[in-house]
Amino acid sequence: MVEKSSRFLDRPVPVPEPESVPLSLYVHWPWCVHKCPYCDFNSRACPGGLPEQDYIDCLLKDLDGELQWVQGREVRTVYLGGGTPSLMKPESVSRLLSGIRSRLPLAPGCEISMEANPGAVASGRLGAFAEAGISRLSVGVQSFQDPQLRLLGRIHTAGQAEETLGEVRRCFSNWNLDLMFGLPGEDLGLLKEDLSRAVGAGSTHLSVYQLTIEQGTAFARRPPTGLPDPDELCDMADAVVSILGRAGFRRYEVSGYALEGRQCRHNLNYWQYGDYLAIGAGAHGKVSTKKGVLRFAKHSSPARYMDGVRRGQGTAHSRWVADRQLPFEFMLDALRLTDGVPRIYFESRTGLREEAIRPELDEARRRGLLADAGGRFRATEKGMDFLSDLQEIFLI
Instruction: Give residue-wise pLDDT tens across range 231-271.
Output: 999 999 999 999 999 999 999 999 999 999 999 999 999 99
CB of 224 closer than 8 Å to CB of 151 = yes
- pLDDT given at position 62: 98
Of 143, 172, 162, nearest to 38 by C-alpha is 143
Rounded to the nearest 10 degrees, the angle between the axes of helix 302-310 and helix 52-66 is 60
How far is 49 from 89, CA to CA, in rounded Å?
A: 13
Q: Give yes or no on whether 12-269 and 323-396 have one common fold.
A: no
- Average pLDDT value for the chain: 95
pTM for this prediction:
0.95
Instruction: Give residue-wise pLDDT tens across range 338-347.
Output: 999 999 999 9
- pLDDT given at position 249: 98
- To 10 degrees, the CA torsion angle through 30, 36, 37, 40? -30
Of 284, 267, 187, 270, nearest to 227 by C-alpha is 187
- 154-169 burial string, b = 16+ CB within 10 Å, else e? bbbbbebbbebbebbe
How far is 29 from 254, CA to CA, in rounded Å?
A: 25
- pLDDT given at position 168: 96
CB of 153 closer than 8 Å to CB of 34 = yes
How far is 360 from 364, CA to CA, in rounded Å?
A: 6
CB of 140 closer than 8 Å to CB of 115 = yes
Region of residue 258 (phi > 0: left; psi between -120 and 50: alpha; otherwise: beta):
beta
Q: What percent of the chain has pLDDT over 90?
A: 91
- pLDDT given at position 10: 75
- Arithmetic mean of pLDDT, 147-164: 95
Instruction: Give residue-wise pLDDT tens across range 282-326.
Output: 999 999 999 999 999 999 999 999 999 999 999 999 999 999 999
- The CATH number that domain 323-396 falls under is 1.10.10
- pLDDT given at position 12: 85
Report the DSSP pairing between strands 75-82 and 44-45.
Answer: unpaired
- pLDDT given at position 342: 97
- pLDDT given at position 339: 96
Of 344, 345, 347, 339, nearest to 373 by C-alpha is 339
- Arithmetic mean of pLDDT, 113-128: 90
**Residue 44 corresponds to which amino acid?**
R
Please, what sign has the CA dihedral across residues 123, 79, 191, 181? Answer: negative
pLDDT at residue 165 is higher than 50: yes
Instruction: Give residue-wise pLDDT tens across range 48-69.
Output: 789 999 999 999 999 999 999 9
Please, what sign has the CA dihedral across residues 263, 266, 267, 273? Answer: positive
- Arithmetic mean of pLDDT, 26-53: 92
At residue 102 the predicted structure's pLDDT band, cuts being 50, 70 and 90, is very high
Listed in sequence order, the residues at least 6 apart from 278 whose beta carbon sits closer than 8 Å to its beta carbon are 25, 26, 27, 28, 66, 284, 285, 296, 297, 298
- The total of other beta-carbon atoms located within 10 Å of residue 306's CB is 21
Report the DSSP pairing between strands 284-288 and 293-298.
Answer: antiparallel
How far is 10 from 325, CA to CA, in rounded Å?
A: 8
- The total of other beta-carbon atoms located within 10 Å of residue 262's CB is 20
- Arithmetic mean of pLDDT, 187-208: 97
At residue 2 the predicted structure's pLDDT band, cuts being 50, 70 and 90, is very low
Report the DSSP pairing between strands 250-253 and 256-258.
Answer: antiparallel
- pLDDT given at position 163: 94
How far is 197 from 192, CA to CA, in rounded Å?
A: 9
At residue 350 the predicted structure's pLDDT band, cuts being 50, 70 and 90, is very high
∠ at Cα 326 (321, 330), nearest 5°?
A: 125
- Class of the 12-269 domain? alpha beta
Query: CA dist 377 to 16, 94, 339, 372, Å?
Result: 20, 40, 8, 8
pLDDT at residue 381 is higher than 70: yes
Residue boundaries of the structural domains of the chain: 12-269, 323-396
- Arithmetic mean of pLDDT, 160-184: 96
At residue 6 the predicted structure's pLDDT band, cuts being 50, 70 and 90, is low
Instruction: Give residue-wise pLDDT tens across range 318-335.
Output: 999 999 999 999 999 999
How far is 33 from 42, CA to CA, in rounded Å?
A: 14
How far is 76 from 155, CA to CA, in rounded Å?
A: 33
- Arithmetic mean of pLDDT, 108-135: 93
Instruction: Give residue-wise pLDDT tens across range 198-235.
Output: 999 999 999 999 999 999 999 999 999 999 999 999 99
- pLDDT given at position 9: 67
